[in-house]
Amino acid sequence: MALFFMALLKVKSFNYFINEKKVKKIHPDIELARSLLKNIQEREETTLKLEPKEFHLIVFENLYDCLRELLDAILALDGYKSYSHEAVIIYLKNFNFPENKIFDLNRFRIKRNNSKYYGNSPKVEDVLEIKKFYLENKDFLLKIINERLK
């Protein structure tokens, strides 16, 4: 799976998802971005107070959702609506986001899907990994958003 996504990064572009109608061009939506930021703030505030060992499923899924909503906010400000988690992850290539971090984000997407749809709950180490990733990268994503909100 790892090699597949790395190949996907090289082959598929964001335009692929537009052509496949998994991303739609819209007018830039500042209000949607602001609403997503508010949701993220509330979700983050609550989630980071939880003990990962006790609430591993909730913490993992909420932090993934925070990351996804940050990416959705960027897309909304750039005039896109995505129906694909993969598309928003690949969109990060436009911001020189390191490929290894894009790969990590995709791994979180897969773990979240396995949890949500197949009952494979994330392990505590997965929770600690996504929490570290979130805390290390949210400012980079917020900077992109704030530059567009000016």
The answer to whether 73 and 33 are in contact (CB under 8 A) is yes
| pTM of structure | 0.90
Phi, psi of 51 (to 5 degrees): -80, 115
pLDDT score of 25: 96
Alpha helical stretches, state H, the chain: 2-11, 14-19, 30-47, 56-78, 85-91, 99-118, 124-149
Segment 61-93, tens digit of pLDDT? 999 999 999 999 999 999 999 999 999 999 999
Segment 7-62, tens digit of pLDDT? 555 557 888 999 999 999 999 999 999 999 999 999 999 999 999 999 999 999 99
Segment 110-145, tens digit of pLDDT? 999 998 888 888 999 999 999 999 999 999 999 999
The token duo for 68 is 């996804």
Q: What is the DSSP letter of 25?
A: E
pLDDT score of 7: 54
Counting every residue written for the chain, the total comes to: 150
Q: Give the CATH class of 2-149.
A: mainly alpha
User: What are the domain boundaries of the chain?
Assistant: 2-149
